Amino acid sequence: MTISRRGLILFSLLLAAAWGALVVYGPSCPLCIVPSGDSGATEPPSDLNAPNPLPLTSTVELEKMTWMEVRDRVAAGATRIIVPTGGIEQNGPYVALNKHDRVARAVSLRVAELLGNTLVAPTVSFVPEGGFNPPSGHMRYPGTISLSSDTFQRLLGDIITSLSLHGFREIVVVGDSFESQADIVRAVTQRTPENTNGATVRYLSEFYNYDDVRSFLKERGIQERPESFHEELAFSLQLLAIDPDAVRYDARMRGAGRTLGGIDLGNREALTALGNEILQRRAEQVVRALR
């Protein structure tokens, strides 16, 4: 019997379709497990207690760790975690949009190092920055990314719940943006031991204590005048210590940006040291509050 080329192709397609149906609907197919409700997909994975092939890491940054490293660090006592929140917003003509992200993370890392047995979660970049229709607040400027208060609070709630499921017993939520403080408080107060697996969830107002930073600068003889654009020396000095490019330092030294609030920014070494001092001062205040 002779089979035409067309018939062979059709037979191959029918065979492939039959095999696909068997894979999808066959009762013994291992790929047919649909995670729902209390199905087997919620059971602890078989390798959950497998030995870690790596030495115990010393990093405090959660996202740079493997899941085994997180497991072992928590088991070794690192049961406190800081959740920093920042923001992506306009900050005037010289400062990067992620100003609050950079500063919140830098302070949180210093806090974790000072405390010990403390990790730092990935920075939450997206916070309320203004309305959408019509655009208001920072949303009037290109590059800003905003969330509604409800979305932000739900996001924090899910992050807190996730961390509580993995053994963290103290979850500290902090923010470097004034506009997000009230929403952080609401998100934290909605968490109870019942919905956080017994973990304690805390908000620290001491983290966002810029009145103290401004007083500190005045004690150093720095009397800043307000600028017409959204930049303040208290923030930019910290950024200068973290990453000079975040305040476009080299470029602004060649133009009008050399002066901020009446303060000449030319002495880079002294201002960088001052920025580091502010970061350390803030971290130590948070450590005292937590202890």
Q: Spell out the domain ranges in the chain.
A: 62-290
Topology of the domain comprising 62-290: Rossmann fold (3.40.50)
- For the chain, what's the residue count? 291
Cis peptide before 134 (omega within 30 of 0): yes
- Cβ(169)–Cβ(211) below 8 Å: no
Closest CA to 264 of 249, 277, 278, 276: 249
- pLDDT by position in tens, the chain (length 291): 455 666 555 555 555 554 554 444 444 444 444 444 444 567 889 899 999 999 989 999 999 999 999 999 999 999 999 999 999 999 999 999 999 999 999 999 999 999 999 999 999 999 999 999 999 999 999 999 999 999 999 999 999 999 999 999 999 999 999 999 999 999 999 887 778 889 999 999 999 999 999 999 999 999 999 998 999 999 999 999 999 999 999 999 999 899 999 999 999 999 999 999 999 999 999 999 999
Backbone CA torsion sign across 285, 211, 259, 263: negative
Q: Is the dihedral of CA 104, 69, 157, 287 positive or negative?
A: negative
Q: Give the pLDDT score at 5.
A: 61
- Neighbouring-strand partners of residue 203: 173
